[in-house]
Amino acid sequence: MTEAPSVSVVIPAYNRVGTIGLAVESVLRQTWRDFELIVVDDGSTDGTRDAVRAIDDPRLRLVETPHNMGASTARNLGIDAARGEWVAFQDSDDEWLPLKLEKQMARLLAPGAGYVAAYCGMIVLGRMGIAYGTGPGTAQHRVTTRYIPAQDEAEIEGDLVLPLLRRSLISTQTLVARRDLLIEIGGFDPELRSLIDWDCVLRLAPRGPIACVDEPLVLQRFSPNSITRDRTRTIVSQIRIAQKHAALFDRYPQVHARHHYVIAGAQQQGGDLAAARASLARARALRPGAWRYWAMSLLVAALPLLPRRRRPTQDPTGAS
């Protein structure tokens, strides 16, 4: 490829030999043909690199790191290597549907559009806890589906600063953004271990309007080592984002207070009552008249005083 493509697609991959093929092929079969695909192998030890090398397509490039550096650094290396004006991101265990790029680029390149980025709808595939099967060793789990952005989201495109402060709307594998602006905002934060996409778009949204193709064009699957499965990482990242974007949150005290309230709930469930009390104090300072923040503060304060529930003991005869 000698001429720069309009879009560079970046896939970070770490030990995804079983899923990287489908992720790559879902990009290569896009109806929008003017792109390059950059897979950043982030120090894999399971044959992921060999699986990528086995795919014969001139649009595919492999970038390798000497050791595992994290998804943010891998994506940033992909942005640095990109030649396109626009950069799209795919995850190594997810799937794009064929019209994904075509529909997004139609919005981004429409006359007078002026968008800095576009995202699309995503189907999240999970598993129910109820198993079924016809015999020993045959139990399977029913598939659950969830659509993002949710139906109750009133604002899904345009100026998304306030909607994004309320909650994360844009997952990385749905995003296409201007490369120059991604570089300008510093790309993805390597210090964050979770909610990386939310932090990035919170920095991107003030740069201009964001388009939404409100159709399910991405399938997200959770792997055993998916970052979003780690609850501890998520809580730490929520706190970091509250600190990092405090000036932006301060424009909307109600939203800022609720963010600390949510953090406090997670800290309380994790057993860190001192941290939960501190988060609730921040929530009350921002919205002193919100009764639920006071109610939860009283609950957290009372928890150490409540008797612990004792589990029934089981004697050898089976009687409790």
Per-residue pLDDT tens over the stretch 242-283: 999 999 999 999 999 999 999 999 999 889 999 999 999 999
Kindly state the average pLDDT of the residues 48-60.
96
Please say if the pLDDT value at position 2 is more than 80. Answer: no
What is the C-alpha to C-alpha distance for residues 151 and 261, in angstroms, rounded to an integer? 24
42 in Cβ contact with 12 (< 8 Å): yes
What is the C-alpha to C-alpha distance for residues 214 and 12, in angstroms, rounded to an integer? 25
**Which residues make beta-bridge pairs with 124?**
146, 220
First to last CA, the chain: 72
| CATH for 7-129+138-229, options being 3.40.50.2300, 3.90.400.10, 3.40.50.800, 3.90.550.10 | 3.90.550.10
Kindly state the average pLDDT of the residues 92-113.
97
Residue 126: pLDDT band (50, 70, 90) is confident
222: which 2 tokens?
């959770």
What is the C-alpha to C-alpha distance for residues 308 and 302, in angstroms, rounded to an integer? 12
pLDDT of 144 reads 86
SS3 124: strand
Kindly state the average pLDDT of the residues 70-91.
97
Where in the chain are the domains? 7-129+138-229, 252-304
Closest by CA position to 196, among listed 245, 247, 237, 249: 237
Model pTM score: 0.87
Kindly state the average pLDDT of the residues 48-68.
96
241 in Cβ contact with 262 (< 8 Å): no
Burial of 154 per CB tally in 10 Å (0-12, 13-18, 19+): exposed
Per-residue pLDDT tens over the stretch 131-173: 555 555 555 667 889 999 999 998 999 999 999 999 999 999 9
pLDDT of 230 reads 60
SS3 146: strand
pLDDT of 235 reads 86
Total residues belonging to the chain: 320
Per-residue pLDDT tens over the stretch 170-217: 999 999 999 999 999 999 999 998 999 999 999 999 999 999 999 999
pLDDT of 315 reads 40
Indicate if the alpha-carbon torsion angle 162, 163, 168, 171 is positive or negative.
negative
pLDDT of 135 reads 57
What is the C-alpha to C-alpha distance for residues 185 and 307, in angstroms, rounded to an integer? 50
Residue 319: pLDDT band (50, 70, 90) is very low
Question: Are β-strands 86-89 and 176-178 bridged in parallel, bridged antiparallel, or unpaired?
Answer: antiparallel
Average pLDDT of the residues of the chain = 90
5: which 2 tokens?
């493509």
286: which 2 tokens?
């921002």
Please say if the pLDDT value at position 227 is more than 80. Answer: no
What is the C-alpha to C-alpha distance for residues 228 and 244, in angstroms, rounded to an integer? 20
What is the C-alpha to C-alpha distance for residues 96 and 267, in angstroms, rounded to an integer? 35
